[in-house]
Amino acid sequence: MAANILLTRIDNRLVHGQVGVTWTKSLGANLILVANDDAAGDELQQKLMSTTADSSGAGIRFFTLEKTIKIISRAADRQHIFIVVKTPADARTLVEGGVPIKEINVGNMHFAQGKTEVTKKVYADAKDKDDLLALANSGVKIYIQDYPGDKQYPITDDLLSKVE
């Protein structure tokens, strides 16, 4: 039985108000799984994210990417899982590691040196583009969407054409 993964979101802020409450409630998730190597070892970051998750009524777990790949298949049927990762590379690692992810929402990828604007909230560089297109080409439904109900922009070569 595959884990009941409702959605995976790429957001460099991980869990904050928008993810912890708006997305979690709209999905009907009862477990937020933060799959990120840094967050898995950062207690302060975990404390802040847990407070946000509490306000949505969902449980929250912090796993490294490797641990997520190893144990996701043991998730209980009653767990409606919302996975949050920091980067396209994290999402690609999970998919290539066998995590049964069918849908990825690209939420927030901040501007940084060397990154090109794709949308107002998503900036990407060549590595991000490579990872995003690899995910799209692996059969995962992947799109940029800020809030539930907003227009979805599917990840395509065209959408990422400005990124070098």
Q: Which residues, in sequence order, are CB contacts of 42 under 8 Å at separation 6+? A: none
pLDDT at residue number 36:
97
Q: Does residue 160 fall inside a structural domain?
A: no
Q: Which domain holds residue 120?
A: 5-154
Whole-model pTM: value is 0.95
Would you call 31 helix, strand, or coil by DSSP? Answer: strand
Choosing from 4, 12, 13, 16, which is the catalytic residue?
Answer: 16
Q: Does residue 34 fall inside a structural domain?
A: yes
Would you call 69 helix, strand, or coil by DSSP? Answer: helix
16 is catalytic: yes
Give the chain's domain count.
1
DSSP structure class, residue 109: B
Residue 22, amino acid:
T
Closest CA to 6 of 66, 109, 78: 78
pLDDT under 50: residue ranges of the chain: none
Q: Write out pLDDT tens, residues 73-115.
A: 999 999 999 999 999 999 999 999 999 999 999 999 999 999 9
Q: Which CATH number covers residue 137? A: 3.40.35.10
pLDDT at residue number 85:
97
